[in-house]
Structure 1
Amino acid sequence: MDVTVDRDGEKTDEQSVEEFAGWVFDRFLGGMETLSIHIGSSLGLYAVLRDAPATAAELAARTAIDRRYAREWLEQQATAGILDSDGEGDELRFRLPAAQAAVLTDGACLGYSAPLADMFAAVALRMPDLMDAYRSGRGVPWAAFGAAVRDGQGDINRPWFENVLAKALASVPQVHEVLSRPDAGIADVACGHGWSTIGLARAYPDAIVDGFDIDAPAIEAAHEHAAGLENVTFSELRGEQLADRGEDRYDAAFVFEALHDMPDPVAVLSAISRAVRSDGVVVVMDEAVAEAFSPPGDDTERAMYGYSLLICLPDSMSTPGSVATGTVMRHATLERYAHEAGFSAVGVLPIDGFAAFRFYLLER
């Protein structure tokens, strides 16, 4: 066995070096192919191939892109195993299989993943800002990442909120009974594109559901998504201001995948506690990370640290005085925030299989 010695005197065998070099190459390859998915998603190439197979010339004509680039992209996609192909020469035809079509073009599918590639590309554009933030200790605000990240976040969660949220909440009697009250008031704090708000409003048509967010473009998009739905309102509002709308105003309040982003989560939870009646419910849905730091982590842990490094922590740190939670908000951290806000306990609701999320019930 060949052995090398590093500068600290630690011995390393060549096989371990080769294996880790291969690990790095696999990630490089994945990153390149993720960007190729972004090209196909953003230019509408997958949508065209979903409707009918195409040669390079046909794809170029249908999407108004250059024929040479069309051929290279199609061949790369087939090489990566995304597209099927048959024929040869100019008659080489490419087809998008049904499973790939669902994942890359069907916004209602729980496996819809194209927005992840769009978000990856948008974050890559911000690397100079992120490097500066890492050196200076400042942040990169959410707005700086642009529409691709904002819309991507909304699009990736939409099928879960539209198709699964109602069943998930109905499975917990303690929550379902409160939401089913006549004229129940429900607050959705940091609602983003409003898909969670809309999911609640459709599941509980007798309730009045108010969605709040500080991001104006997100609220504008939420209004568009909710067109025709009469028991929903959307407003620009910070979570810390929720109680300003009235003490004991709401029967229930939710924070879906957002508390870890907030510069002052204790102030937000305190405001929610005051705004929700004593016999109401407060639910926080956040990432289903491990109970404690214990590397190496599973895929969920790795993904959430990726989000944290590149989006959530820089966004949080863009606000002076932020507690800088980051995406990896563990149960103990949420419990500490909740206790400081006046809640007595934080329990985990028996909702499984809801993407990579966990539902917490905050008790008073």
Structure 2
Amino acid sequence: MTETTAATTPDTESATEAFVERLFGAVLGAQLVQAAYLGDRLGFYRALAEEALTPPELAARTGTAERYAREWLEHQAVAGVLTVDDATAAPDERRFRLPTGHAEALTDVLSPNHVLPLARMVAGMGQHMDALVDAYRSGGGVSWAQFGTDAREAQAAANRPLFLGALPREYFPSVPAIRDVLERGGRIADVGCGFGWSAIGLALAHSDVTVDGYDVDEPSIEAARRNAQEAGVADRVRFHCADAATADGRYDLVTAFECIHDMPAPVGVLDTMRRIAGPDGIVLVVDERVAERFHAPGDETEQLMYGWSITCCLPDGLAHTPSVGTGTVMRPDTLRRYAQEAGYADIEVLPIDDAFFRFYRLT
């Protein structure tokens, strides 16, 4: 009797071929992300959004080398990101265009379809792979400060459309208790405020509220202050490079947007939020809308959140000692446990339908 090993069965061969195709497609996707990173950082997309350009024109407009500009343009055309008027023209005479639909995703910073910051985050993390390998071996971490400008700017840019748009204008007013705070001009604390877009969005949408933003990352606070000035709300939105535990008085609403899962000691932060909210204030945590239980394989959102966790959020959390090491995939039961340890009775998931975020009221 002849044995057939698993490696030679038709089913195994088919599975191998399918996975090879998947991984090869991922390589093409990674190259597209790298090219998008270059297009973002060098200003190529913004220039092309204004008008179609030849390689010499793009290089002159952006202060870059013509030979690199030409190769990048040709790659983007081959990849279907750009169109070219006449592919048979001389290389330096080909005119490349950025289609309107693509321009929205690549250049419209207020559009919900602006996904370019995600590409910048992925490519930016790639600069720290050696440090991540060391962290995986040692059990240490790579801090937000080490990840640097790309991580800060990309995360802020990714959340900006939501924080200036649907969140303060649709999501929050749909919750009666929060709507009441906004309508009566309540006092709000934004914990882990980053570049300040959540605080600024609330102030722009509701003219009577005042917001104090707290973050321990100094470059983020400096950016938040600039953003508030440019938005014209600096008289009602103040940013503090400090732990929220230093806050004075009581707040009507205390929020933490997409940051509790990053914190090495979330219980202490939640306890602070409970204290500054007082007995009558609202405590709101907005974090990733991951599945309630682990299962495999997962959907695209679950894959995305695990991808952020293994390259950014978990390493940042473990860069501090001691750390609970939550990671991006903070499921409702995990937050419930943290909340109960911080003195809350329970958590309530609010009926706000968002593709990426879950809204928790801590009670």
Report if TM-score (shorter chain) is over 0.5: yes
What residue is the counterpart of 1:59 in the other structure?
Answer: 58
What residue is the counterpart of 2:237 in the other structure?
Answer: 232
**Which residue identity is paired with 1:310?**
T
State how far apart, in whole Å, the 1-side matches of 2:270 and 2:61 are: 51
What residue is the counterpart of 2:125 in the other structure?
Answer: 123
Question: 5 Å matches for 1:1-364?
Answer: 5=6, 13-87=12-86, 88-90=88-90, 91-166=93-168, 167-182=170-185, 184-227=186-229, 228-229=232-233, 230-239=235-244, 241=245, 244-246=246-248, 249-353=250-354, 355-363=355-363
Shift of residue 12 of structure 1?
5.7
More strand by share: 1
Unaligned runs of 5+ in 2: none
Measured against aligned partners, the alpha-carbon deviations of 1:85-120 in whole angstroms (never above 9, x if no partner) come to: 121222321100001111111111111122222222
State how far apart, in whole Å, the 2-side matches of 1:12 and 1:144 are: 45
State how far apart, in whole Å, the 1-side matches of 2:63 and 2:299 are: 42
**Contact 1:4–1:11 (8 Å) recurs in 2:** no
**Contact 1:179–1:252 (8 Å) recurs in 2:** no
Measured against aligned partners, the alpha-carbon deviations of 1:218-257 in whole angstroms (never above 9, x if no partner) come to: 0000000001311111001224x1xx4346x111100000
Shift of residue 275 of structure 1?
0.9
State how far apart, in whole Å, the 2-side matches of 1:128 and 1:71 are: 31
**Which residue identity is paired with 2:356?**
A
Deviation larger for 319-328 or 344-353: 344-353
Equivalenced residue count is 354
Shift of residue 362 of structure 1?
0.7
Measured against aligned partners, the alpha-carbon deviations of 1:291-342 in whole angstroms (never above 9, x if no partner) come to: 0001111111001001000000000000011000000000000111111111
Shift of residue 66 of structure 1?
2.1
**Which residue identity is paired with 1:5?**
A
3-state DSSP of counterpart to 1:234: strand
State how far apart, in whole Å, the 1-side matches of 2:171 and 2:309 are: 26
Shift of residue 10 of structure 1?
10
**Which residue identity is paired with 1:32?**
Q
**Which residue identity is paired with 1:258?**
C
TM superposition outliers: structure 1 runs of 4+ over 3 Å: 3-6, 9-12
**Contact 1:178–1:280 (8 Å) recurs in 2:** no
Shift of residue 11 of structure 1?
9.2
State how far apart, in whole Å, the 2-side matches of 1:75 and 1:245 are: 54
Q: What TM-score do the two structures reach when normalised by structure 1?
A: 0.93
State how far apart, in whole Å, the 2-side matches of 1:269 and 1:58 are: 53
Measured against aligned partners, the alpha-carbon deviations of 1:255-285 in whole angstroms (never above 9, x if no partner) come to: 0000000111111111111111212211100
State how far apart, in whole Å, the 2-side matches of 1:246 and 1:61 are: 53
State how far apart, in whole Å, the 1-side matches of 2:85 and 2:328 are: 44
3-state DSSP of counterpart to 1:61: helix
Q: What TM-score do the two structures reach when normalised by structure 2?
A: 0.94
Question: In percent, how many aligned pairs have the same letter?
Answer: 48
Measured against aligned partners, the alpha-carbon deviations of 1:13-35 in whole angstroms (never above 9, x if no partner) come to: 21111111111111111111100
3-state DSSP of counterpart to 1:126: helix
State how far apart, in whole Å, the 1-side matches of 2:89 and 2:99 are: 21
Measured against aligned partners, the alpha-carbon deviations of 1:57-78 in whole angstroms (never above 9, x if no partner) come to: 2222222222222221111101
State how far apart, in whole Å, the 2-side matches of 1:260 and 1:302 are: 16
Cα RMSD of the aligned pairs, angstroms, is 1.8
